[in-house]
Amino acid sequence: MFLDNKNSPVIQVDDSCQIIDCNNLASEFIGLETAEIKGRHLSTFLKTDCHSSRPCSRETDYFISRFHHSSGMISEVVIHAHSVFNKSGTFCYLTIFDVSERDNAGIGTLKVLSGRVAHDLNNILTGILGSLSILREGDVTGVLQEELLKNAESGTMQAREITDKMLSFSRGEVTPVTVIDKNYSQKKALSFSSDELGSGRLLLLDDNPFVAQTAIGMLFTLGYSVDVVSDGNAAVMKYIESIEKGKQYKAVIMDLTIEGGIGGAEALELLLKADPDAVCILSSGFSGSEIMLNYSSYGFKATLSKPYTVRELFESLNTALQS
């Protein structure tokens, strides 16, 4: 999970910003043993107003602050905050990127951060483009039309907030960025002929609710019912369960990268052991990556590059199902 991160310091806090746990890199970064860090308030080290920035209030946040080490040294940091909501409460995992360094290590950190930001922006763009493509392709009116417009507008605001945050970073300002999730799910026919539309059940693996809800809407318009999971292990279990119940999924759309869990590539290996004939589509914002370019050698039937339109989703499904 998040605390297994071997590249960056990670701190786990509860919804009152009390530190619950941290990984070894965070202990080294702070300069204290893990036992000495647990139980302290986040503001002991991270100089930001937790009540106004509220790093745990949304699924994903970015914010900039100054980190105070136990030695008295101060670092300029960018924080990627990822919240997990479960029955036990709200927990936030703060991945720390030290951007004050100017050596090779600092450059490496900035590259990792840039990749994370690009990944999140691609997820947002997937939701925006998907919503707009439904409006373009379909005979959409009324409540659904309004929801799609709001979805696209919300995504645009999310993207703008992230880019504003990166610009603020270049000016050294400390301001929080909040990424907001929007949900909708209604079925509406597109301008496809009836014989083009699909049917049956699909499984979607994606850990971003914004992307998942948009994909659900797009797949519904193409005639499919959809189950969603946010982790690769859950996808494999769900798929095996569908076989046992005699209601096997026609295809699985798998996100390559799952935050803190098993992504599409690892999940596919497990899934193919259960069903060598499984129809799986690899989806990712990293369209130029080796696995996306050579997807078939890994066992995938097609790819779907984020962001994508309804028509691109339709074509990817057709390619996979007809292979």
Residue 184 is predicted with a pLDDT of 32
Per-residue DSSP letter, 32: S
Burial class, 162, CB count within 10 angstroms (exposed 0-12 / middle 13-18 / buried 19+): buried
Residue 104 is predicted with a pLDDT of 54
d(CA 152, CA 154): 5
Cis peptide, bond prior to residue 55, ω within 30 of zero? no
**204, β-bridge pairs:** 228, 253
Q: Is there a common fold for 2-100 and 121-322?
A: no
* CATH hierarchy code of domain 2-100: 3.30.450.20
CA 201 to chain centre: 23
Residue 110 is predicted with a pLDDT of 66
Could you tell me which residues come within 8 angstroms of residue 60 by beta carbon, excluding any fewer than 6 positions away?
80, 81, 82, 83, 120, 179
Contact 151, 214 (CB under 8 A): yes
Residue 185 is predicted with a pLDDT of 34
Domain 121-322 class, CATH top level: alpha beta
**205, β-bridge pairs:** 229, 254
**19, β-bridge pairs:** 13
Amino acid symbol at 186: Q
Residue 193 is predicted with a pLDDT of 65
Residue 320 is predicted with a pLDDT of 96
Residue 223 backbone zone (phi > 0: left; psi -120 to 50: alpha; other: beta): left
Domain ranges of the chain: 2-100, 121-322
For residue 26, what are the CA distances in angstroms to 10, 100, 283? 6, 16, 32
Are β-strands 225-229 and 19-22 bridged in parallel, bridged antiparallel, or unpaired? unpaired
Residue 166 is predicted with a pLDDT of 67
CA end-to-end distance (rounded Å), the chain: 35
Intervals of the chain under pLDDT 70: 1, 47-60, 86-87, 101-112, 164-171, 173-195, 288
